[in-house]
Amino acid sequence: MKGHIVLENGGTFTGEFIHTPNDEIYGEAVFFTGMTGYQEVLTDPSFKGQIVVFTYPLIGNYGINDTDIESKEIQPAAIVLSSCHHEGYHYQSNQSLAAWALYHQVPVLTNVDTRTLVKRIREHGDMGAVVTTKAQPIDFSVYTPLGERHVIDEVSVAEEETYGSGAKRIALLDFGYKSSMVEALVHRGYEVCVLPYHTSEERIHELKPDGLLLSNGPGNPKQVENELGKIRKLAACYPTLGICLGHQLLALAFGGDTKKLRFGHRGANQPVQDIHSKRVYMTSQNHSYVVTEASLENSDFRPRFINVNDNSLEGLEHESLDILSVQFHPEAHPGPADTEEIFQEFTNLIYKKKGEPVYA
């Protein structure tokens, strides 16, 4: 059936639904620039509530498998493509993208002029949008903008979960974590306790973790301001790593500020420079908000990583506390594995805290 994506600023782009949604679907229209990794993208909780437009023209050609998933369901509200391949030509593929999306009841709008659509988003910024079968004006006043929704409640675990059986324990505060993040830590010999983001400070101390990880997640970081006091106290007690949203929350907890980018960084090829080594890494990213560097001038945080394209802040380290944070995804699913060493830096913080040997 013919379908449309209607932008909040009035633009309408027409395509065809692979399966017809029962109603209008509202979300924030964003674009992803990677050529591969659509399965990881679509199961990344950081995309909750968004309508993902893929810039690469052919999506679905290697199908869907059982291993490259970051959560148990498709997270975006809808998917917009130029072309969707109906077969998966890969030995691990067990179903098509179209069949997978139908199972999760997530609409796929294809045959859309995504090149022009993405140009519109780049020009005007990420914005509210509706996918619909009706070519008519949309009353956007009835929808709550994503930045005002508490979407973290929709993706955080309801109960504690434990993975791995290592000698050292990581407490992971879940704001919408990716499973490959846990896998990266388990691979390095940790037991990982995944905790609801609102877990009390007392309970975390009871677990006696060796380190604390603040995960990625969707939405506006200022929607969880009531957690900042707890985050600051915990980060002062344990070696701490913040990733993506976790990075933003650490900055806010120590007096910094965040702002929304005109259009976010979403792709697997974002160049980031380490200020110390001057080395440039290619990174995987998915975020709308960034920490403003000027807001940290009177804090004990110092910039560690900078985005080469727009000079936005991509990472922090604390002068006296064992805290490291990055805006990008070191687990790199999808994307290059250039920055996996961030997990080793985190490990070194933990070992140093315990007076044990650290490794390069």
We report the CATH number of the domain holding residue 257 as 3.40.50.880
Do 187 and 290 lie in one domain? The reply is yes
Name the residue with tokens 């394209």: 309
pLDDT digits (tens, 9 = 90+) for 302-328: 999 999 999 999 999 999 999 999 999
Which tokens go with 41? 């993208």
Give me the amino acid identity at 321. L
User: Is residue 359 scored above 80 in pLDDT?
Assistant: no
Average pLDDT over every residue of 280-309: 96
Mean predicted lDDT score pLDDT of the chain: 95
Give the structural domain span for 37: 2-146
Answer whether residue 360 is part of any domain.
no
pLDDT digits (tens, 9 = 90+) for 37-68: 999 999 999 999 999 999 999 999 999 999 99
CA-based diameter of the chain, in Å?
Answer: 65
SS (H, E, C) the chain: CEEEEEECCCCEEEEEECCCCCCCEEEEEEEECCCCCHHHHHCCHHHCCEEEEECCCEECCCCECCCCCCCCCCCCCEEECCEECCCCCCCCCCECHHHHHHHCCCCEEECCCHHHHHHHHHHHCCEEEEEECCCCCCCHHHCCCHHHCCCHHHHCCCCCEEECCCCEEEEEEECCCCHHHHHHHHHCCEEEEEEECCCCHHHHHHHCCCEEEECCCCCCHHHHHHHHHHHHHHHHHCCEEEECHHHHHHHHHCCCCEEEEEEEEEEEEEEEEECCCCCEEEEEEEEEEEECHHHHCCCCEEEEEEECCCCCEEEEEECCCCEEEECCCCCCCCCCCCCCHHHHHHHHHHHHHCCCCCCC
State the pLDDT at residue 10.
Answer: 85
Alpha carbon 328 to chain centroid, angstroms: 9
Answer whether residue 335 is part of any domain.
yes
Average pLDDT over every residue of 159-174: 97
State the pLDDT at residue 360.
Answer: 59
Q: Which of 28, 331, 333, 345 is catalytic?
A: 331
Q: Which of 11-25, 197-211, 233-247 has the lowest mean pLDDT?
A: 11-25
Query: Beta strands 108-110 and 161-163: pairing type?
Result: unpaired
User: Is residue 19 scored above 80 in pLDDT?
Assistant: yes
Answer whether residue 358 is part of any domain.
no
Name the residue with tokens 């997270």: 75
Alpha carbon 282 to chain centroid, angstroms: 16
**Does 357 or 117 have the greater pLDDT score?**
117
Tell me if residue 329 is catalytic. Answer: yes
State the pLDDT at residue 212.
Answer: 98
Q: Which of 4, 247, 318, 329 is catalytic?
A: 329
Which tokens go with 50? 């968004």
Phi, psi of 132 (to 5 degrees): -155, 160
Question: Alpha-carbon distance 332 to 330, whole Å?
Answer: 5
State the pLDDT at residue 135.
Answer: 79
Do 194 and 338 lie in one domain? The reply is yes
Answer whether residue 359 is part of any domain.
no
Do 110 and 167 lie in one domain? The reply is no
The residues with which 172 forms a beta bridge, in sequence order, are 194, 213
**Per the structure, how many domains does the chain have?**
2
Which tokens go with 121? 């988003």
Which tokens go with 214? 């603040």
User: Is residue 82 scored above 90 in pLDDT?
Assistant: yes
Tell me if residue 331 is catalytic. Answer: yes
Do 162 and 311 lie in one domain? The reply is yes
Answer whether residue 207 is part of any domain.
yes
Q: Could you tell me which residues come within 8 angstroms of residue 253 by beta carbon, excluding any fewer than 6 positions away?
A: 228, 229, 231, 232, 235
Do 203 and 334 lie in one domain? The reply is yes
We report the CATH number of the domain holding residue 106 as 3.50.30.20
Do 315 and 237 lie in one domain? The reply is yes
Peptide bond before residue 334 is cis, with ω within 30 degrees of 0 = yes
Question: Alpha-carbon distance 81 to 18, whole Å?
Answer: 11
User: Is residue 134 scored above 70 in pLDDT?
Assistant: yes
Domain end: 146, 169, 190, which one?
146
Average pLDDT over every residue of 201-213: 98
Q: Which of 244, 265, 314, 333 is catalytic?
A: 244
Do 124 and 177 lie in one domain? The reply is no
Do 205 and 113 lie in one domain? The reply is no
Do 201 and 349 lie in one domain? The reply is yes
Query: Beta strands 108-110 and 78-80: pairing type?
Result: parallel
Domain end: 123, 146, 169, which one?
146
Do 184 and 247 lie in one domain? The reply is yes
Answer whether residue 304 is part of any domain.
yes
Do 26 and 111 lie in one domain? The reply is yes
37: left (phi over 0), alpha (psi -120 to 50) or beta: left
User: Is residue 220 scored above 70 in pLDDT?
Assistant: yes
Please give the share of the chain, as a percent, with pLDDT higher than 70: 100
End-to-end alpha carbon distance in the chain: 56
Do 166 and 311 lie in one domain? The reply is yes
Domain end: 146, 164, 192, which one?
146
